[in-house]
Structure formats: C-alpha cells, structure tokens
Amino acid sequence: MMNLQHHEAVHHPAFLLRMLLAVYVDPGSGSYYYQMVIVGLTTVFFFFTTIRQKIVSVFKKPGTPPADPTPPQTPTDPRNIG
Amino acid sequence: MSDGPKVSGASFRDPNGCIVQYRGEFLRVIQPSYAAHYQCLFESGLYQELVNQGLLIAHEEIKTEAFPGAFKVIRPRQLSFVSYPYEWCFSQLKAAALATLAIQRAALARGMILQDASAFNIQFIDGKPMLIDTLSFERLRLQPWPAYGQFCRHFLAPLALMSLRDPRLGQLARVHLDGIPLDLARKLLPWRSRLKLSLLIHLYWHAASSQGSGGKTAKNRAPANYRLSSLQGLVAFLESAVQKLDWQPPKTSWATYYGGTVTGGKYVEHKKLLVAQFLQAAQPRSVWDLGANTGVFSRLASATKADTFAFDGDPDCVEINYLETRRTGESRLLPLLMDLTNPSPALGWAHEERMSWMQRQSPDLVMALGLVHHLAIANNLPLDRIEQFFTRLSAWLIIEFVPKNDENAQKLLTVREDIFPAYTREDFEKQFGASHTILRAEPVQDSPRTLYLMRRRD
C-alpha cells in the first residue's frame, strides 16, 4: 500500500492525475495520460510561440535567412593528432 | 546458401511491415494494414516535402513476386553503414532530436503523425539526420502523442544528462535500448536541472506520472476535444527544451595530448602527404579511420569521395569533429564514438536487434594512425592480436608504427613497466608481413615513426 507521507511526488500534477484516475498506470500509458495534464501548458506555449513568430516576422527583413539554431563551434587548429 | 528473403533482426515489432534482406539489398515489405496510411503519406504531400528537405529517406516501389500478400515492396536508398545513438556525440543526438520534431511538425501540418520517436529510426546520411522508417507515419487522430514518452526517453533524457552531468552518460542508451528510463534520468540529473521548466515538466513530473500506484488496470479513456494546437504546442515545447540544452567540449587531456608535440616540425604535413598518396594508391570506396581524434586525416579520405567513418573513444574529439563536418558541410565523413578496446556489441532480442560494430560493414580500407602504441602499450595487447584484428577488418591498411623511443610512447611508458620486449619495428613488420603485403614503408619526417601501406593476402 502506498505510503503517502513518504511519497516524494504528492504535490505535483502527475500524482494528482494518478489519484484522479485511480488506476494502475504503466509507463507507456502514463506518458499518454500525462499529456492530458499538461495540455493547457502546451496549448498556451503554442499560442505564445505563434504570436512571437508573427511579431518577429513583422520586423524581419525580407529574404533574411533563418539563423542556425546551433551554430557549430570550430576548432581553429588541427590538434589531437595521434 | 539460401537466396530467399531474410527478415532483419531489428524489424519484428511493427505489424505493418518489416525490413528484409533480399538478393543483397535491404527492402521494406509493407502489409495491407498500412495501405491507407501509405497512400495518405503521398496524397498529403508529406513524403515529397520531407524527402526534399532531406528529413526522410527516399525510396522506390519495386515489383516482385517474392512477398505474396504484401501491399507494397519498397527499396529505400541503401546505406553503407548504420550507426546507433550510443555512438553519437551530444550534437549528433541533438540534431537527431530536432530532426524528429521537425518531421512531427511537418506531419501534423499535413494531417499525419509520427507513431514512434525512436532514435534508432534516425541515421546520419550525407552528414544530416534522416528518418529511415517510412512506416512511422499514420493518419492523424486528435489524441495525445503516443510517442511522447519514447521521445523523452530516447532524446530528452540523454541530452539532459550529457549536457548537465557528463557527455559519457550517452552510453546509457547502450544498456537501455528503448531509451533511458525517466526515473533513472531524474535521479542522475543535478538538482539545478529542476530549475529548468522544460525539464521539470517533461522529465521530472513526466517520470512520476509513469510510475505505477496500484493493482488496477488502466482503462481506455479516450480524451475528448484534444486539439491539434495541443500537439503542435507539445512539439514547440519539446523543441524549446532541446534547443536550450547545450554542451561545449572542454580541452581535455586527450584533445591536447599530442597538440604541442607531434604538430611541430614537418611531421603533420609529411604524414598528410603520405596518407594522401597511400589513399590514391588504394582507391577505397569506404574507409574507417580508427582513433581518428578530430578527423584531420579522415578528411583526406573523405576528400577522395570515399565514405569515411571516423571513430574515436573520446566524446570531446567526436563532438569537435562533428561540428567541423557541419561547418564545412562535409557529406562523406561521419564521426562516431567508439572504444576500440570495447566496441559496440550485438544487442537486443537474440543479439539480433542491433548489430555489433564489425558486423555492420567491411570497409575497403582502415587507417590506424598513432594508434598501435596505445593498443600495445596502454592496453597490453600483443602485436599478434592487433594484427589479427586489422586482418579481419579490411583488405587495405594504412598503419603507423610508433616505436618506444617516440616521445608519446615514452609518456605511456613512464607510468608502467616496460613489459613489451616484442614491441619493435622488426617485430611489427614480421607480424603484419605474415598476413599482408607491405607495399610502402615510409619514415615520417621529424619523428621516429613509420607509415605503412599494406594489402591483405586473400
């Protein structure tokens, strides 16, 4: 039987979700149901990223290529040669 | 030997199709159960869009009677070598994660969805991450993303561990083939990772949601009114989480080990000249550079249009090498992480899901530059075992002998007793000469080293 006092996750949404469903949740279906808990967050995130993209596109010069999200770091000298 | 189709050992989970090896080629056999999804893939324009963007492997449909009952048989572009996520550096795994999310975003926009997000479905082709599982797509149903947990285990958890704890933790994927369990990742991550909202949500709380709490069985509760924007938001959220994870390779002892010594004088330039000449003589189509470090000599091979794989056991070197390939847009060079004294074994069900390193390709030529002294002196490998290893690997061999009086060999010997009386140039030539024809043996300027071009006697 679950010891609520010693359960580290009593206060967070995933625990509340399990209590709400009152079922055993296997790892695969846990991820599935968990998305229903964070659906509000993902929707809000989508809303704001869409708005931000629209604002950025207004101020962006036409024809400007998108920035590389992870610009590579380049070694300047051939080191580490066996 | 039978010429019939042989189902790949890694292709047994998907009821909609499988990979078969048939007459020397890898084909994908598609079952009728996947017909509607396959047609949607084309009619929606998703296939063409992803192929044009280099995100999905291209294929052609073929007509054959070898697979009765099949809906289609397709021949994907054939790969010369398959790499696995536990052989990728941080930036390779990150690029694969972002490619997976870009594919999911494109699929959602065209009424489809990725049914799985396995890192094993991504391969680096022409230097870029590409989805190779054409059957990963299904027609969109508005429900939570079934592959969300898999994405977090295969990509987000290892990236977070590599970024915030240690890049070597990417090796956990070798033990956990279906991705690093989120509860394990949570325990291994530093406390400060909780301060990142994306990790708090997608790893910490997500991990807790996946732990069982009772004896009842989950009921099938189909969510009502699940929106497309929720799925798109999840992709954007995960993209943001992955983008924020970063790792810069430090100047480790390995990365600077040789820097101040062998790069001096004419050594490097002369060695480059010799390697280029040897490559010209051998004309290989595929090259493995073992102990490639940052790939200085691998690039000589890829410049000859040979498919080149640069293996090294140091994550920093592989990271630097990969970033250089990205900077220069090199398509024929793939750096990979590999400990030569403990290379990737065959893994998974019946040891057939993931092939061992040596099962995956028989390269035309192997380069072992500045490597033999590490194998012989640092790892106590006798010369006969080293010779047997290279004889198994390839027909052509470019190998450098580093004698004991070499400055770097001396460094290895300062911390151990010299128990290697048979490690001399004469012993080396005698050992390798028994199985190979030594075509060239050239001293390298400004060093006591000798560079050999050999061909195996078959």
Q: Which two tokens stand for residue B295?
A: 């790939």
**Whether residue B400 is found in the same domain as residue B430:** yes
**Whether residue B70 is found in the same domain as residue B134:** no
Residue B112 vs residues B40, B65, B120, B240, B248: alpha-carbon distances, Å: 8, 30, 21, 22, 36
**Whether residue B11 is found in the same domain as residue B67:** yes
The answer to whether B205 contacts A24, with C-beta atoms less than 8 Å apart, is no
d(CA B378, CA B16): 49
Beta bridge partners of B15: none
Q: Which 3 state secondary structure label does DSSP give B207?
A: helix
**Whether residue B179 is found in the same domain as residue B323:** no
Q: Dihedrals φ, ψ of B136, to 5°?
A: -75, -15
Which tens digit of pLDDT belongs to each residue from B96-136? 999 999 999 999 999 999 999 999 999 999 999 999 999 99
Query: Last residue of a domain, which of B52, B76, B100?
Result: B76
Q: Which residues contact B151 (CB under 8 A, 6 or more apart)?
A: B97, B100, B101, B117, B145, B238
Which of A31, A44, A49 to substitute to test the interface with B, most B CBs within 10 Å?
A31
- For residue B80, what is the DSSP state? S
d(CA B92, CA B41): 27
Please tell me which residue, B187 or B253, carries the higher pLDDT value: B187
B221: in domain: no
Share of chain B above pLDDT 70, in %: 93
Task: Report whether B210 contacts B149 (CB < 8 A).
Answer: yes
B64: in domain: yes
**Whether residue B392 is found in the same domain as residue B428:** yes
Residue B332 pLDDT grade (very low, low, confident, very high; cuts 50, 70, 90): very high
Q: At what angle do helices B228-244 and B90-109 cross, to 10 degrees?
A: 160
Task: Report whether B115 contacts B146 (CB < 8 A).
Answer: yes
CA distance B130 to chain A (A): 18
Residue-averaged pLDDT of chain B = 91
d(CA B147, CA B46): 19
Residue B8 has pLDDT above 60, yes or no: yes
The answer to whether B218 contacts A23, with C-beta atoms less than 8 Å apart, is yes
**Whether residue B319 is found in the same domain as residue B374:** yes
> What's the average model confidence in pLDDT over B243-261?
71
The answer to whether A80 contacts B215, with C-beta atoms less than 8 Å apart, is no
Which tens digit of pLDDT belongs to each residue from B387-421? 999 999 999 999 999 999 998 888 888 888 887 78
Share of chain B above pLDDT 90, in %: 80
**Whether residue B91 is found in the same domain as residue B71:** no
Q: Which two tokens stand for residue B228?
A: 């497309």
**Whether residue B126 is found in the same domain as residue B185:** yes
What is the Cβ-side half-sphere exposure of residue B421, based on CA atoms within 13 angstroms? Answer: 0
Q: Which residue of A has its CA nearest to B248?
A: A73
β-pairing, B17-22 vs B25-30, is antiparallel
Which tens digit of pLDDT belongs to each residue from B351-395? 999 999 999 999 999 999 999 999 999 899 999 999 999 999 999
The CATH number of residue B343's host domain is 3.40.50.150
- For residue B264, what is the DSSP state? S
Q: Which two tokens stand for residue B21?
A: 């090896």
User: What is the complex's ipTM, to 2 decimals?
Assistant: 0.71
- How many pairs of residues across A and B have Cβ atoms under 8 Å apart? 182
Does A66 contact B at CB distance below 8 Å?
A: no
Does A81 contact B at CB distance below 8 Å?
A: yes
d(CA B79, CA B125): 8
Task: Report whether B9 contacts B350 (CB < 8 A).
Answer: yes
Does B179 contact A at CB distance below 8 Å?
A: no
Query: Last residue of a domain, which of B217, B244, B271?
Result: B244
Which tens digit of pLDDT belongs to each residue from B29-50? 999 999 999 999 999 999 999 9
Q: Which residues contact A43 (CB under 8 A, 6 or more apart)?
A: B227, B229, B230, B233
Does A58 contact B at CB distance below 8 Å?
A: no
**Whether residue B40 is found in the same domain as residue B114:** no
Pick from A26, A38, A79: CB nearest B212: A26
Q: Give residue B398's domain range.
A: 253-456
Which tens digit of pLDDT belongs to each residue from A12-56? 555 455 544 444 445 567 888 888 888 888 888 778 888 888 888
Does A76 contact B at CB distance below 8 Å?
A: no
Which tens digit of pLDDT belongs to each residue from B304-315? 999 999 999 999
B220: in domain: no
Residue A8 pLDDT grade (very low, low, confident, very high; cuts 50, 70, 90): very low
Task: Report whether B312 contacts B391 (CB < 8 A).
Answer: no
Task: Report whether B420 contacts B372 (CB < 8 A).
Answer: no
> Which stretch of B101-105, B161-165, B211-215, B224-228 has the lowest confidence by average pLDDT?
B211-215
Q: What is the pLDDT of residue B419?
A: 78
Q: Judged by CB atoms within 8 Å, which residues 265-304 of B form the interface with A?
A: 268, 291, 293-294, 296-297
**Whether residue B277 is found in the same domain as residue B408:** yes
The answer to whether A31 contacts B208, with C-beta atoms less than 8 Å apart, is no
Torsion angle, CA of B182/B184/B190/B192, rounded to 10 degrees? 30
d(CA B262, CA B451): 14
Q: Which two tokens stand for residue B381?
A: 């490998």
Q: What is the pLDDT of residue B13?
A: 82
The answer to whether A45 contacts B237, with C-beta atoms less than 8 Å apart, is yes
Query: Last residue of a domain, which of B218, B244, B270?
Result: B244
Helix (H) or strand (E) holding B100: helix B90-109
d(CA B275, CA B442): 10
**Whether residue B46 is found in the same domain as residue B136:** no
d(CA B97, CA B166): 18
Domain spans in chain A, listed from the N-terminal domain onward: 9-58
CA distance B175 to chain A (A): 18
Q: Which two tokens stand for residue A49?
A: 């990223």
d(CA A78, CA B268): 9
Q: At what angle do helices B157-164 and B90-109 cross, to 10 degrees?
A: 150
Q: What distance lies between CA B210 and its chain's CA centroid?
A: 29
d(CA B393, CA A8): 52
Residue B217 pLDDT grade (very low, low, confident, very high; cuts 50, 70, 90): very low
- For residue B438, what is the DSSP state? E
Q: Which 3 state secondary structure label does DSSP give B343?
A: coil
Q: How many domains, chain B?
A: 3
> What's the average model confidence in pLDDT over B86-95?
98
Which tens digit of pLDDT belongs to each residue from B148-175? 999 999 999 999 999 999 999 999 999 9
d(CA B242, CA B199): 10
Task: Report whether B144 contacts B226 (CB < 8 A).
Answer: yes
**Whether residue B101 is found in the same domain as residue B205:** yes
Give the E-state strand segments of B110-205 in sequence order.
112-114, 122-125, 128-131, 137-139
